[in-house]
Structure 1
Amino acid sequence: MDKNLMMPKRSRIDVKGSFANGPLQARPLVALLDGRDCSIEMPILKDVATVAFCDAQSTSEIHEKVLNEAVGALMWHTIILTKEDLEKFKALRIIVRIGSGTDNIDVKAAGELGIAVCNVPGYGVEEVADTTMCLILNLYRRTYWLANMVREGKKFTGPEQVREAAHGCARIRGDTLGLVGLGRIGSAVALRAKAFGFNVIFYDPYLPDGIDKSLGLTRVYTLQDLLFQSDCVSLHCTLNEHNHHLINEFTIKQMRPGAFLVNTARGGLVDDETLALALKQGRIRAAALDVHENEPYNGALKDAPNLICTPHAAFFSDASATELREMAATEIRRAIVGNIPEVLRNCVNKEYFMRTPPTTAAGGVAAAVYPEGALQHRAHSTTPHDGPHSTTNLGSGSGGGGSSGVVVGIGSGSNASSAALIPPPPTATSNNSVTAAAVAVAAAAAAAAALLPSTVPPQNAAVPTVPHLSPQVGGLPLGIVSSQSHLSAPDPNNHLSSSIKSEVKVESMEAP
């Protein structure tokens, strides 16, 4: 048995208002771990939580009160949470990464500790795609280097000087751009690149067939083929244990001599030392990096030629920064007013909370496995979508509640939009017991029929059948959906209050 199934999980976040003539219970504590500005988060959370900031670079700098009492945490990419760091938090139930990457969090350890980890994959898609194209254009047209020459006072008195300074400028139309990963950002880059005349190919083993046809792209099925065919390679995948240093000495040798490289995804995808050597040798003509394995940037690439480095700013615009923080705070709010993980839109370790509970020797459900008050059944789709580079949305539109407001069915792929709850048979606890019950019903009916006078039914009479009893339903709890209203008056200045007020939560209801 998977040992993770037997790990005790922490109880869900409960936010309860004051009783009539009773004491007001303390609101849960939510902490911004590596920042100071909470001006955007506060209006969204102030009626359901107390918000604090830590401005820490490591957990050793976090106040003891936060470590002991915080049930929710918001964090950027400047702090790292290992298993040892996560174990310092005594009440933590949810972490929301303000961004898309979760490589600075030990997601597996968090799941084992009962901590949900969420990200915000939908923000800043346009900004990162635009920045990627800007870097690609700079590499092809060498605008960055030409501008620096003019700023430094270099004189261009004739075509010979211009030809010498602009040596290496390339024509875009007809060249092949290879995208590693075709998620939200990769798709946006592909559409932009086609408008400039690029022949766009991509490699993404996690996407279903037909995506290439719907976007008018060319799909290759190995990374080696993409590297061999591309004049420019652009990375658009998340970082995990399988693709660390994806661009290394071996893969650089598979690239076309004189190819360009762009990385606006994750710094750990590129081996800095190998890339620096390839730039000095001219095997890679030029590279543009917005992300670096060690940030702030200071490494082997510091003295490399033909390199553009930007400070992990591809995601930023005034609009995207506001949108990002609003989406992160709203995810925390969902966790506080609802059940984890059913109400979460972008939980990246949801499998740790949606496992089918093990049964006891008597056929019952082991009650200690799941958090108190948490929904104890699986009602979500696990269909792969964007693979490791963009997380599939598992919110209310993915089988977690459906448009009808009723949750029905147990097991992966169950239909959560049915119109009514189906009560389980009281005594059915396994496949064998369900089958035995059905056989017993049929035998009893046959015995009763034998005692009655023999009659021949009409030709068009319906033949009675034994009703099908699904073993997936028997003996497991079902869910009901109830309205979740605010516990205090909505803030008229809170622009999200009207949409959040109508949010629903899934409550647990034990089967009879």
Structure 2
Amino acid sequence: MDKNLMMPKRSRIDVKGSFANGPLQARPLVALLDGRDCSIEMPILKDVATVAFCDAQSTSEIHEKVLNEAVGALMWHTIVLTKEDLEKFKALRIIVRIGSGTDNIDVKAAGELGIAVCNVPGYGVEEVADTTMCLILNLYRRTYWLANMVREGKKFTGPEQVREAAHGCARIRGDTLGLVGLGRIGSAVALRAKAFGFNVIFYDPYLPDGIDKSLGLTRVYTLQDLLFQSDCVSLHCTLNEHNHHLINEFTIKQMRPGAFLVNTARGGLVDDETLALALKQGRIRAAALDVHENEPYNGALKDAPNLICTPHAAFFSDASATELREMAATEIRRAIVGNIPDVLRNCVNKEYFMRTPPTAAAGGVAAAVYPEAKK
């Protein structure tokens, strides 16, 4: 029997010294690819890894030492890793996306290359839910536009001026809010929206039966039904190859005339050009977007009326930013001291490792750094 298969799953991490057939040192290198500040990550990783930063916007800006030696990588959403990019890394075993979305990483290619990809889905739930409600309230009560009018010097001397400026303001209680996706954030939005008097419905084909009863919501079983019934549609689903441009010319025609649209999920869920036209025609009364297909934002929606755009900041608060980075660094630490994928909390391509024996690709980062641990 192969001796490797008889080894216990946990990798030995007490082997010291560099390994004989390469430039890596015994202490694994972890790199923050698209940032400079490692002050939160360092205390979590300093006793098990060397931490470096690249502050890169593409792999062409990443230092050769990182490409050759890094076994772990932390990254935000500002850098994209294609299959060709991933192939440039010679020792990489784990990538942790500092955030929930992984659409800027070729997850399939990473799995095929033996690289685990993890995200941090549990952070900032309150912040995104609160921001979503803030945007919904702004669309209904037009607070954003009214505040801008006052700042720009418009005088309101009587009810006629107020009526003209506030035209389009709507009452919330009794309206139907439709949530596309009822995960952590969708559920948090639903509970907040009920407190404001919304009738909340949701569409999520991946949830088991009974969730609607436990939360006191109404479930619909097709996207078409949700769009047809909703006065306001809010998106809370992940982005994948099946729902790119979920909001498009066809689905906008299924929405109620004059409905509101909110997106704090993923930019690629909305076809910007179609939404811009719908706003200009008044088919969509107003929209609020915290995420955009192309960031920084600069596209077809630039001159669209009745639109609020924020810079992908719904997740942020001082508390959530710290929590997010701590969770990401802790996931890297798990990989270094344990086995991939067993110890990982949020590995999104785990299936690529479950089919393989505990060799370097399926072992911990320690197995890549300390080849003696595999003998």
Q: Go from structure 1 to structure 2 and tell me whether the alpha carbon gap of 1:360 and 1:50 turns closer, same or farther (over 3 Å shift).
A: closer
Q: Go from structure 1 to structure 2 and tell me whether the alpha carbon gap of 1:155 and 1:109 turns closer, same or farther (over 3 Å shift).
A: same
| Larger displacement relative to structure 2 (352-361 or 104-113) | 352-361
Please state how far the C-alpha of 1:105 moved relative to its aligned partner.
0.3
Please state how far the C-alpha of 1:26 moved relative to its aligned partner.
2.8
In the alignment, is the contact (CA less than 8 A) between 1:201 and 1:220 conserved in 2?
Answer: yes
Q: Percent identity?
A: 99
For the residue of structure 2 that corresponds to 1:247, the secondary structure is coil
Structure 1 CA distance for aligned equivalents of residues 356 and 223 of structure 2: 36
Aligned position for 2:77: 77
Q: Go from structure 1 to structure 2 and tell me whether the alpha carbon gap of 1:364 and 1:171 turns closer, same or farther (over 3 Å shift).
A: closer
Q: Go from structure 1 to structure 2 and tell me whether the alpha carbon gap of 1:37 and 1:364 turns closer, same or farther (over 3 Å shift).
A: closer
In the alignment, is the contact (CA less than 8 A) between 1:117 and 1:349 conserved in 2?
Answer: yes
For the residue of structure 1 that corresponds to 2:367, the secondary structure is coil
Structure 2 CA distance for aligned equivalents of residues 311 and 143 of structure 1: 19
Please state how far the C-alpha of 1:51 moved relative to its aligned partner.
0.3
In the alignment, is the contact (CA less than 8 A) between 2:24 and 2:369 conserved in 1?
Answer: no
Q: Go from structure 1 to structure 2 and tell me whether the alpha carbon gap of 1:78 and 1:155 turns closer, same or farther (over 3 Å shift).
A: same
Structure 1 CA distance for aligned equivalents of residues 145 and 66 of structure 2: 48
Q: Go from structure 1 to structure 2 and tell me whether the alpha carbon gap of 1:154 and 1:28 turns closer, same or farther (over 3 Å shift).
A: same
Please state how far the C-alpha of 1:17 moved relative to its aligned partner.
7.8
Please state how far the C-alpha of 1:355 moved relative to its aligned partner.
1.8
Describe the superposition over 1:61-88 as per-residue Cα deviations: whole angstroms up to 9, x where unpaired: 0000000000000000000000000000
Please state how far the C-alpha of 1:366 moved relative to its aligned partner.
22
Structure 2 CA distance for aligned equivalents of residues 292 and 96 of structure 1: 22
- Greater helix share, 1 or 2? 2
Please state how far the C-alpha of 1:122 moved relative to its aligned partner.
0.5
Aligned position for 2:12: 12
In the alignment, is the contact (CA less than 8 A) between 1:7 and 1:112 conserved in 2?
Answer: no
Describe the superposition over 1:250-281 as per-residue Cα deviations: whole angstroms up to 9, x where unpaired: 00000000000000000000000000000000
Please state how far the C-alpha of 1:346 moved relative to its aligned partner.
0.4
Structure 2 CA distance for aligned equivalents of residues 2 and 103 of structure 1: 38
The runs of 4+ residues in structure 1 deviating greater than 4 Å are 1-25, 356-372
Structure 1 CA distance for aligned equivalents of residues 312 and 361 of structure 2: 54
For the residue of structure 2 that corresponds to 1:172, the secondary structure is coil
Aligned position for 2:128: 128
In the alignment, is the contact (CA less than 8 A) between 1:358 and 1:366 conserved in 2?
Answer: no
Q: Go from structure 1 to structure 2 and tell me whether the alpha carbon gap of 1:344 and 1:15 turns closer, same or farther (over 3 Å shift).
A: farther
In the alignment, is the contact (CA less than 8 A) between 2:19 and 2:370 conserved in 1?
Answer: no
1:260-409 pair list within 5 angstroms = 260-355=260-355
What RMSD, in angstroms, separates the aligned Cα atoms of the two structures? Answer: 5.6
For the residue of structure 1 that corresponds to 2:354, the secondary structure is coil
Q: Go from structure 1 to structure 2 and tell me whether the alpha carbon gap of 1:62 and 1:154 turns closer, same or farther (over 3 Å shift).
A: same
Q: Go from structure 1 to structure 2 and tell me whether the alpha carbon gap of 1:16 and 1:184 turns closer, same or farther (over 3 Å shift).
A: farther
Structure 2 CA distance for aligned equivalents of residues 93 and 229 of structure 1: 46
In the alignment, is the contact (CA less than 8 A) between 2:118 and 2:346 conserved in 1?
Answer: yes
Please state how far the C-alpha of 1:109 moved relative to its aligned partner.
0.4
In the alignment, is the contact (CA less than 8 A) between 1:260 and 1:285 conserved in 2?
Answer: yes
Q: TM-score, normalised by structure 2?
A: 0.90
Structure 2 CA distance for aligned equivalents of residues 331 and 366 of structure 1: 14
Structure 2 CA distance for aligned equivalents of residues 126 and 363 of structure 1: 35
Structure 2 CA distance for aligned equivalents of residues 361 and 187 of structure 1: 37
For the residue of structure 2 that corresponds to 1:122, the secondary structure is coil
Structure 2 CA distance for aligned equivalents of residues 365 and 28 of structure 1: 8
Structure 1 CA distance for aligned equivalents of residues 91 and 268 of structure 2: 31
In the alignment, is the contact (CA less than 8 A) between 1:95 and 1:116 conserved in 2?
Answer: yes
In the alignment, is the contact (CA less than 8 A) between 2:30 and 2:72 conserved in 1?
Answer: yes
Q: Go from structure 1 to structure 2 and tell me whether the alpha carbon gap of 1:19 and 1:238 turns closer, same or farther (over 3 Å shift).
A: closer
Larger Cα-atom Rg: 1
Q: Go from structure 1 to structure 2 and tell me whether the alpha carbon gap of 1:21 and 1:225 turns closer, same or farther (over 3 Å shift).
A: closer
Describe the superposition over 1:174-195 as per-residue Cα deviations: whole angstroms up to 9, x where unpaired: 0000000000000000000000
Structure 1 CA distance for aligned equivalents of residues 95 and 366 of structure 2: 27
Q: Go from structure 1 to structure 2 and tell me whether the alpha carbon gap of 1:362 and 1:203 turns closer, same or farther (over 3 Å shift).
A: closer
Q: Go from structure 1 to structure 2 and tell me whether the alpha carbon gap of 1:98 and 1:363 turns closer, same or farther (over 3 Å shift).
A: closer
Please state how far the C-alpha of 1:16 moved relative to its aligned partner.
4.5
Structure 2 CA distance for aligned equivalents of residues 125 and 2 of structure 1: 46
Q: Go from structure 1 to structure 2 and tell me whether the alpha carbon gap of 1:48 and 1:17 turns closer, same or farther (over 3 Å shift).
A: farther
| Structure 1: stretches of 5+ with no match in the other structure | 373-510
Please state how far the C-alpha of 1:4 moved relative to its aligned partner.
20
Q: Go from structure 1 to structure 2 and tell me whether the alpha carbon gap of 1:64 and 1:366 turns closer, same or farther (over 3 Å shift).
A: closer
Q: Go from structure 1 to structure 2 and tell me whether the alpha carbon gap of 1:119 and 1:22 turns closer, same or farther (over 3 Å shift).
A: closer
Structure 2 CA distance for aligned equivalents of residues 332 and 306 of structure 1: 43
